[in-house]
Structure 1
Amino acid sequence: MKIWKQQLAIWLAYSISLYSFFEYLTDTITAIVHVASFVGTQLIAYYSNTRIVLPHFFEQKRFGLYVLLNMILLIFGSIVTSISEQFTPEALTNINGDSALIHYESPFALEPLIAHAMPSFIAIFIAFVIFQHRKKAIRDQRDLALIKAEKNFLVQQLNPHFLFNTLNNIYSLTSSNNPKGAAAVMTLSKLLDYSLYGTKKEFVPIAKEIQAIENFINLFKLKDDSIQRIYLEVTKVDRNFSVAPLLMLPIVENALKHGDLEQTSTGYVAITITSDEKHLYFTCENSYALPKKVDQTGGIGIKNIQRRLAIIYPGKHAFKITSASNKFSVSLTIDTYGA
């Protein structure tokens, strides 16, 4: 259904409801007069705001003119409503019912002016709320489009250097007929399948993200047989639960890339994934040697994750980064039932 048809249906339903209310309290003619004045002034106030006042004055920060124009709309609506009431049967009949004298009440009196301005005020308020809601929706759509573009960019940034090293390691294994070579090729294939195709979906089973983390770790260990201090603990997690893809994997990649796992005998990376009845918990901690080196790709990855969380899990997540005592830690909590 087109927007104008939806709006027409809403205004008709509103007018019928308003007429039923007034007709129940008064008489048919009075109800018609009230509905005509109320809805007429509200239509003018609402569409003047949505088409002219809000986009051309409020949005352009011309607040003085915005207030002035709405004051004019309120006064106009009050006068029209006040004058229309003088033509109801009650107003046209004198106290004794002997003549049709008009009991005129000045529309410029303060109390009736305020009371009769309420229909227009309500329309202006609703127009403002809807305008702000539409602005937020448009802004969120732009952010989501940018996030999707940045997510694709992030995938591309994650893969090339890692792929180059992994392929070299696999080549070394296969050239020496090491049986680990075939397994490494299969692991790389699964990781690529998830990175290229799994991330096209808005949500994936958490089992796929965990499997991708496990595959990434296994391929990373191909660099050096001495790399053993990578700990992944997964406990009490419903693996069928859906989560946005590539939220945890980039954090693990950053930990492996920026930590001192390969430089020191005490370097480590510890990853835990667990859950309770309401929340999913993820933590990734790594040691590092000072001075800590962080490149722009890592920064983009973290910012991308934070922005995606804000849009996909608004008010239903907690993301925290701490760095102290040569330890870098990232924790993520997601409300699994509210998401």
Structure 2
Amino acid sequence: MIRPLALSMGDPAGVGPELAAAAWALSGTAGLPPFFVVGSQRIIAAAAARRGLDVPIVGIAAPDQALALFDTALPVLDIGDGAYTPGAPDDTGAALALESLTRATALARSGAASALVTGPIAKSRLARVGFDYPGQTEFVAAACAVPAQDAVMMLAGPHLRVVPVTVHVALADVPRLLTTGVIVRRATIAAAALTRDFGIAAPRLAVAGLNPHAGEDGRMGHEDAAIIAPAVAALKAAGIAATGPLPADTMFHAAAREAYDVAICMYHDQALIPIKVLDFDEGVNVTLGLPIIRTSPDHGTAFGIAGTGTARPGATVAALLMAGQCAARRAENA
């Protein structure tokens, strides 16, 4: 039996609560696996009502109860209450979001939940209530005793998968932070996860260059030849089907994408611009290299539209679907 997914509520002033309810409303047509929300039962109900959704909300005391209830109601593991003030975040809501993330992560780690799906949070707000991590990825990695550098972010959608080697750093710092070892380590983790969790027996990695035209033989920078090319050679020597360094400006058109399973990119925007162009409403943030499965919709709290009924649930639905598919593969291979 595959246990239900745990969905953290996210910041109650953002779109997380209403999109949790909207995802459940679409669960039958979307084929979603059973999931439960870790958060405030009253806030989820209020968010659903404000969106005009007729979603029955039922409280549960333990994750296993969600399996029997999911077809007829959205199960919520209630962790306390707070104000539902969409678009107006405060410290009380941030504390509730942090407790939701903490509890949901613990349930996934214990095996009570088959995977963790995290709702959107505001990092600056969480910092005000004691959150000392750059983001949820680093928090979950620490909870799983995984070094932050081995928790690899992959963005995945119907048309593209990308892994940024460097993430939330200034562009000016990227050349200094790129090393052959870092590229090899993160690409290796990505390849292993594509096999374990996505069922790709021999993943094909396309490794982007850093500079225009992948350096053009050193005329536009030395990093491609000195750092990235040796990483590609090391990956090949380890039996991984890697190509590169490739000029990034020709990697993402339809014909090019057919030649690889994931693009290994050197910095944040090199990876995220193409996937947000191609899969904005269905993009999923997947953390690779963890002992648990963790996904998240690839968008933020959207305070500006929270409570207006205009936030689209596609990415939340996609994150739940992907988490369920990965959990099923792990269960099959256990």
Give the TM-score normalised by the residue count of structure 1.
0.20
Higher relative contact order by CA 8 Å / sep ≥ 6: 1 or 2?
Answer: 2
TM-score between both structures, scaled by the size of structure 2: 0.20
- Structure (1 or 2) with the larger CA radius of gyration: 1
Higher-helix-fraction structure: 1
